C-alpha cells in the first residue's frame, strides 16, 4: 500500500469513497435521518481545496482504497474513510500510522479526533482514549453524536 498527497483529480473518487464508507460502516449506529443529511446534497464548494490541503490517499494495487486528513492547525485527524472492499485489510491502520508520523514530524505531541460511534473501537485499538459522547457540528450543517478522543504521540 502506498500513501500520497491528494490532488484535485481525486475529488470524485474521494467523495464516492466517503459515501460508500458511511453507508457500510455508520448505518447501524446513526438514524436514517442522520445518514440522509450526511450523504445527500451536492459536493461542498470548499471540498476540492480541503482535499488538496489536508488529505492523503491510500493506494492498493493501483486503486484508491481510502483517504484520511490531518489538520495541523487543530492537531486533529479527521475524515478517515476506507472503501468497503478494503475494510479490515489494514488500510485504516496504515493511514493512521502515516498521519500520526506526519504530526510527529511537525512537533505535535497530542493528536485529537472526533470519532463516529462505530469507529471508536478502532481508534481505541490504536491507542486513542476518550469515552465522552459529544454533539459534533458536522460541516454539512447538522449535529451528530461522536466521541472526542486523543492520543499522546510521545509514546508512538
pLDDT tens per residue across span 7-47: 999 999 999 999 999 999 999 999 999 999 999 888 888 88
Give the Cα separation of 141 and 84 in Å (integer): 25
Nearest Cα residue to 115 out of 106, 124, 102: 124
pLDDT tens per residue across span 108-142: 999 999 999 999 999 999 999 999 999 999 988 89
Which stretches of the chain are DSSP H helices? 11-26, 32-39, 47-54, 91-105, 120-125
Question: What pTM was computed for the model?
Answer: 0.93
CA atoms within a 13 Å half-sphere pointing along the CA-CB vector of 30: 24
Give the Cα separation of 64 and 85 in Å (integer): 11
Amino acid at each position: 500500500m502506498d500513501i500520497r498527497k491528494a490532488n484535485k483529480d481525486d475529488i470524485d473518487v474521494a467523495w464516492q469513497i466517503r459515501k460508500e464508507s458511511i453507508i457500510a460502516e455508520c448505518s447501524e449506529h446513526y438514524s436514517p435521518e442522520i445518514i440522509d443529511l450526511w450523504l445527500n446534497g451536492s459536493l461542498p464548494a470548499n471540498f476540492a481545496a480541503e482535499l488538496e490541503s489536508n488529505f492523503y490517499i491510500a493506494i492498493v494495487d493501483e486503486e484508491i482504497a481510502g483517504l484520511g486528513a490531518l489538520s495541523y492547525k487543530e492537531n486533529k485527524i479527521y475524515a478517515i474513510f476506507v472503501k468497503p472492499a478494503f475494510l479490515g485489510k489494514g488500510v485504516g491502520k496504515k493511514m493512521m500510522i502515516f498521519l500520526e508520523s506526519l504530526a510527529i514530524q511537525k512537533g505535535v505531541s497530542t493528536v485529537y479526533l472526533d470519532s463516529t460511534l462505530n469507529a471508536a473501537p478502532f481508534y481505541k485499538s490504536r491507542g486513542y482514549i476518550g469515552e465522552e459522547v459529544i454533539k459534533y457540528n458536522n460541516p454539512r450543517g447538522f449535529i451528530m453524536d461522536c466521541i472526542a478522543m486523543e492520543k499522546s504521540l510521545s509514546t508512538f
